[in-house]
Amino acid sequence: MITCSLVKAFLFLSKFLTDLAYIITFHLDQTSSVHLFMFRRIAQRRWHRCFV
């Protein structure tokens, strides 16, 4: 079972990776950063109850 604290840590790491990927791929290929951003949004929506 995934705990909320683990989810929070995962989302924090996901945000960091998203920002990092966006910076790295900005002038090359924005597809990866967009996919990570969408994944982060989906994860936040799915685990929203952990932040309430």
pLDDT at position 41 is 76
pTM above 0.85, yes or no: no
Structural domain harbouring 31? 4-51
pLDDT in tens, 40-52: 777 777 666 655 4
What does the buried/exposed string (b/e) look like for 6-45 if buried means 16 or more CB atoms within 10 Å of the residue's CB? ebeeebeebeeebeebeeeeeeeeeeebeebbeebeeeee
Coil, helix or strand at residue 44: helix
**Structural domain count, the chain:** 1
pLDDT at position 16 is 84
pLDDT tens column, 3-50:
888 888 888 888 888 777 777 666 566 555 566 677 777 777 766 665
Q: How many angstroms separate the Cα of 27 from the Cα of each of 31, 33, 40, 49? A: 11, 11, 21, 36
